[in-house]
Amino acid sequence: MSLYKTRVKEFETLLANEVIDHTSLKKLCFNGIPDGGGFRAICWRLLLGYLGSEKNTWTQTLQKKRQLYQQFIDEMVISPGTSGDSSCSDHPLSDGPESAWSTYFKDNEVLLQIDKDVRRLCPDISFFQQATEFPCQVVVNSNGERRLHSRVAPSKLSSANVEGKFGMTKINLITKRAQENYEAMEEGLEAHWEVVQRILFIFAKLNPGIGYVQGMNEIIGPIYYVLASDPNIVFREFAEADCFFCFTALMGEIRDFFIKTLDESEGGIKAMMNKMTKLLEVKDIEVWQRLKDQELYPQYYGFRWLTLLLSQEFPLPDVVRIWDSVLSDENRFEFLVHICCAMIMLLREQILEQDFASNVKLLQNFPPMDINIVLLKATTLK
């Protein structure tokens, strides 16, 4: 029996139990979850605490959570004064604290940043530009009223008349988006990036203390990709709702990374960078000394590595494999520090030879490398 088939059999056996042993699950997932079979999607739901250990609770949990998420859409993805919002009677120019219009315009400021970010999500693959099989019907059949991107879309005017000293002059207005940005789909359809946009918007609405911070799109991307690619159509149909709760659970653990006032806290990003630096000092003092002498601080590269859980340093399939191990780590995110340290050590020769400018460029643009080599190196640092 091949190694792959053996691994598949181990997952099938473990997940067939009525009560899932989390210790065994983490140990199995740490070494990588097999592609195909829907194993990763179900395991990530378990690792992120969305599903409990007892399988007989899954149906009720999923039904309850999915209904709750649909309620969020019904109540939050709507414009004041539209046909679906009969409760709003205030004026669009009102700036009172109770004004639904005032809240709407403030929300649009957040939505504008979300819109920009999700349109650039994982540009190396076409997945997020493609249509989802299961568009949200209340949104895609609303004549545009519930389409979030339409709230912050640029003007559709192609030209305008401007009155000047010598009479009226017709000018062209450049309104086209950059080509790398994803286009919205027609009525009745929606792309995966539009679904991600809705999830992030609802998250920001429900978590005003943190709201939306640029980079959260990179965190939600792998989760949504895994759940929306699940071969099990029963689960895939509710990828949006499940992704929302899995993302919320993960953000609950890494929220300190995104709140500047908590940078100095034990769970803050500076503390994580210090752990990475200290580990490098212990494991390879020569490289550590070289970076110190060049004053090449981890803020130049490690901040992004750690904050975004390496989601921008590797291709998406490699990121997903990294997260198998990171989400399975008994001491959550300790192994992430080990991976980052291993990445530096694997560039040892270049770092020792190159100058500051070259090393900054090297670390900010990690070269293509077999992810298994990186992970193997990281495990030796434990």
Domain boundary among 202, 229, 254: 254
Task: Tell me, yes or no, whether 87 lies in a domain.
Answer: no
Tell me the residue range of the domain where 75 lies.
36-79+98-154+184-254
Q: Are residues 216 and 310 in the same domain?
A: no
Q: Are residues 197 and 61 in the same domain?
A: yes
CA 379 vs. chain centroid, Å, equals 25
> Cα torsion at 88, 94, 96, 97 (round to 10°)?
50
SS3 1: coil
Q: Cβ neighbours of residue 27 under 8 Å, at least 6 residues apart?
A: 328
Domain boundary among 230, 254, 278: 254
Q: Which long-range contacts (CB under 8 A, 24 or more apart) does 292-297 make?
A: 294/355, 294/356, 294/359, 295/356, 296/356, 296/359, 296/360, 296/363
DSSP string over 250-288:
HHHHHHHHH-GGGTTSTTSHHHHHHHHHHHHHHH-HHHH
Specify the pTM: 0.88
Task: Tell me, yes or no, whether 7 lies in a domain.
Answer: no
Q: Are residues 236 and 113 in the same domain?
A: yes
Rounded to whole angstroms, the Cα distance separating 277 from 292 reads: 10
Structure tokens at 83: 């046909």
Q: Are residues 270 and 238 in the same domain?
A: no
Task: Tell me, yes or no, whether 28 lies in a domain.
Answer: no
Q: Are residues 284 and 249 in the same domain?
A: no
First-to-last alpha carbon distance for the chain, in angstroms, is 31
Task: Tell me, yes or no, whether 170 lies in a domain.
Answer: no
Structure tokens at 118: 């999700």
pLDDT tens, the chain, 382 aa long: 688 899 999 999 999 999 999 999 999 999 999 998 999 999 999 999 999 999 999 999 999 999 999 999 999 988 765 544 444 455 555 555 555 667 888 888 999 999 999 999 998 899 999 999 999 999 998 888 889 888 887 644 444 444 444 454 444 433 334 444 577 888 899 999 999 999 999 999 999 999 999 999 999 999 999 999 999 999 999 999 999 999 999 999 998 888 876 656 666 899 999 999 999 999 999 999 999 999 999 999 999 999 999 999 999 999 999 999 999 998 889 999 999 999 999 999 999 999 999 999 999 999 999 999 999 999 999 8
Number of H-type helices and E-type strands within the chain = 19, 2
